[in-house]
């Protein structure tokens, strides 16, 4: 805990500051409220609400007057927030070895693999699957959280004995300025395809935000790049640290020499410093061959012993990714987070290398997010799956039927292997009821998330639980016949 004077010398107040907040509904007595500018809200408008909740200290960028409270004006509250949080928590990012992972697909998988290879007793994780280390696991509201949470999480890791943090560094986080105060010891990217154009406005802007991770890498640090990715050269041009590459050609620092994908594992041969690394990976799919290669090179660049790292590969498990449910049925059910056209295509192509008959996909697209990719998702699903059922998926304030109409907008008169079942629970049930022997039902887009954001509010919803419930109900009906 610090006083306001310690944070802003000369402000004239020794009031102790308990926490930093940007949501007036969460503010309590002793908190410091930073009036940032949100996407749709100006938090200067909520100062009086924060005062009612007991707040007495405010950071503003407008001429604000209130009696009996501390008002500190700065040029830009959004830019101020990360530097303020960094100082409040005594610069935790400078006490940890920071590892940043960016990319359109594979961030969560790669970051999780990195944590497993290092060991969760030494390495904390922040990303889509929450935040965790060996001592605890918690939720996370965003892939890359706002600064007041991010620095609090880093401080937590230090208190739990971590020396490293691996975090998913999203393009939106760079766009919103959440990461501007941070530098990285090791940075990496998996791939880049078109995504989040509703936020960035253009693919060029999106790419620039991805490149920012490498610009913020320390000069003595390492930048790990996918040399087989289309945008490798552009990413390389932004690198501030030493560049190391992975890919299929011999000139890579870590070469993907060969691999064989099986339904329950992948046999891989990597080459590193003239040595063949024969690996039995518990991960499936050629995309995970790349994710593992990226993670290995990250950990080796961070200075870890190769033999020790290889021992940890058997422990890798990625929640919400390629989760084949234990249904004890003649058909299969898989839950996966895939939600981009590239990620969906790779997943479905992999699934059809397995001994299955048909693939039945349940999927939607998020509301208030990139509308440009919706038709692309529709195309890639119907072109790679036997049958598609489109439904809601975090529609937020948008009409879920309108979102589904966007998804199928380019399919009409060209494809018939799809339908719309708006309610996600009903869509999952229908897919499972359709499944025959050796069919694969794939429920995509949410992974292990436990919520749906509707226009009426956020509800509890978990795809795996809904799938198990649908399977159980089908068994009861079949047994009663």
Per-residue pLDDT of 102-142, as tens digits, reads 998 999 999 999 999 999 999 999 999 999 999 989 988 77
Which of 298, 315, 332 is a domain's end point?
A: 315
Q: Which domain holds residue 475?
A: 323-480
**Is the pLDDT at 22 greater than 90, yes or no?**
yes
> Crossing angle, helix 107-118 and helix 286-301, to 10 degrees?
50
Q: What span, in angstroms and rounded, lies between the C-alpha atoms of 389 and 59? A: 48
Domain co-membership, 181 together with 284: yes
In a domain, 84, yes or no: no
pLDDT at 199: 63
Q: In the listed set 294, 315, 336, which residue is the last one of a domain according to the structure?
A: 315
**Taking the model in full, what pTM does it have?**
0.87
* Residue 179 located in a structural domain: yes
pLDDT averaged over the chain? 94
- 21-33: b (≥16 Cβ within 10 Å) or e: bbbbeebeeebbb
pLDDT recorded at residue 198: 52
pLDDT digits (tens, 9 = 90+) for 242-285: 999 999 999 999 999 999 988 789 999 999 999 999 999 999 98
Q: For position 14, which CATH number holds?
A: 3.40.1390.10
Q: What is the pLDDT of residues 323-332, one digit of tens each?
A: 999 999 999 9
Report the 10 Å Cβ neighbour count for 451: 13
Please list, residue by residue across 346-356, b when 16 or more beta carbons sit within 10 angstroms of its beta carbon and e when fewer do: bbbebbeebeb
Question: Is residue 83, in this structure, part of any structural domain at all?
Answer: no
Verify that 344 and 306 share a domain, yes or no: no
Burial of 15 (C-beta count, 10 Å sphere; 0-12/13-18/19+): middle
Q: How confident is the model at residue 220, as a pLDDT?
A: 98
Do 191 and 254 sit in the same domain of this protein?
Answer: yes
| In contact, 99 and 117? CB cutoff 8 Å | no
Q: Cβ(59)–Cβ(147) under 8 Å? A: no
- On the question of pLDDT at 422 being above 80, the answer is yes
396-414 confidence digits (pLDDT tens): 999 999 999 999 999 988 9
Identify whether residues 298 and 327 lie together within a single domain. no
Which one-letter DSSP state was computed for residue 252?
Answer: S
Instruction: Provide the token pair at 345.
Output: 């295509």
Query: Same domain for 55 and 132?
Result: no
H or E segment and range at residue 95: helix 92-95
User: Is residue 267 domain-shared with residue 126, that is, in the same domain?
Assistant: yes
Q: Residue 224 domain-assigned?
A: yes
Phi, psi angles (nearest 5°) of residue 136: -160, 165
Distance CA 310, CA 297 (A): 12
Judgement on whether residues 141 and 23 belong to the same structural domain of the protein: no
* pLDDT at site 256: 98
My answer on whether 292 and 153 are in the same domain is yes
Task: Check residue 200 and give its pLDDT.
Answer: 52
Where residue 342 falls among pLDDT bands split at 50, 70, 90? confident
């Amino acid at each position: 805990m610090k006083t306001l004077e310690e944070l802003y010398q000369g402000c004239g107040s020794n009031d102790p500051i308990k926490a930093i907040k940007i949501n007036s509904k969460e503010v309590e007595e002793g908190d410091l409220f930073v009036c940032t500018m949100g996407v749709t809200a100006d938090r200067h408008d909520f100062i009086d609400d924060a005062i009612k909740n007991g707040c007495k200290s405010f950071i503003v960028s407008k001429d604000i007057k209130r009696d009996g409270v501390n008002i500190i004006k700065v040029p830009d509250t959004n830019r101020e927030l990360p530097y303020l949080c960094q100082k409040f928590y005594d610069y935790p990012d400078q006490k940890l070895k920071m590892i940043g992972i960016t990319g359109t697909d594979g961030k969560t998988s790669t970051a999780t693999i990195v944590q497993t290879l290092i060991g969760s007793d030494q390495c904390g994780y922040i990303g889509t699957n929450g935040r965790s280390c060996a001592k605890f696991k918690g939720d996370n509201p965003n892939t890359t959280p706002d600064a007041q949470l991010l620095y609090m999480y880093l401080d937590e890791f230090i208190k739990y004995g971590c020396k490293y943090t691996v975090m998913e560094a999203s393009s939106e986080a760079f766009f919103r300025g959440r990461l501007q105060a941070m530098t990285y010891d090791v940075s990496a990217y998996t791939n880049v395809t078109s995504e989040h154009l509703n936020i960035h406005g253009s693919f060029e802007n999106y790419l620039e935000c991805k490149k920012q991770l490498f610009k913020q890498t320390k000069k003595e640090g390492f930048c790990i790049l996918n040399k087989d990715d289309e945008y490798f050269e552009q990413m390389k041009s932004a690198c501030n640290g030493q560049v190391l590459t992975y890919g299929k050609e011999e000139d890579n620092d870590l070469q993907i020499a060969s691999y064989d994908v099986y339904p329950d594992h992948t046999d891989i041969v990597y080459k590193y410093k003239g040595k063949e690394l024969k690996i039995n990976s518990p991960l499936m799919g050629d995309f995970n061959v790349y994710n593992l290669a990226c993670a290995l090179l990250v950990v080796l660049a961070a200075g870890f012993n190769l033999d020790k790292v290889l021992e940890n590969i058997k422990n890798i498990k990625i929640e919400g990714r390629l989760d084949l449910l234990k249904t004890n049925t003649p058909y299969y059910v898989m839950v996966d987070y895939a939600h981009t056209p590239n990620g969906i295509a790779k997943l479905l192509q992999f699934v059809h290398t397995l001994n299955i008959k048909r693939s039945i996909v349940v999927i939607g697209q998020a509301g208030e997010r990139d509308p440009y990719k919706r038709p692309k998702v529709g195309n890639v699903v119907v072109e790679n799956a036997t049958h598609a059922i489109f439904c809601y998926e975090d529609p937020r304030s948008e009409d879920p039927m309108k979102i589904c109409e966007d998804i199928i907008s380019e399919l009409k008169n060209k494809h018939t292997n799809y339908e719309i079942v708006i309610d996600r629970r009903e869509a999952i049930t229908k897919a499972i009821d359709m499944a025959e022997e050796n069919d694969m039902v794939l429920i995509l887009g949410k992974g292990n998330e436990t919520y749906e954001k509707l226009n009426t509010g956020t509800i509890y919803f978990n795809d795996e639980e809904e799938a198990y419930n649908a399977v159980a109900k089908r068994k009861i009906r079949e047994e009663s016949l």
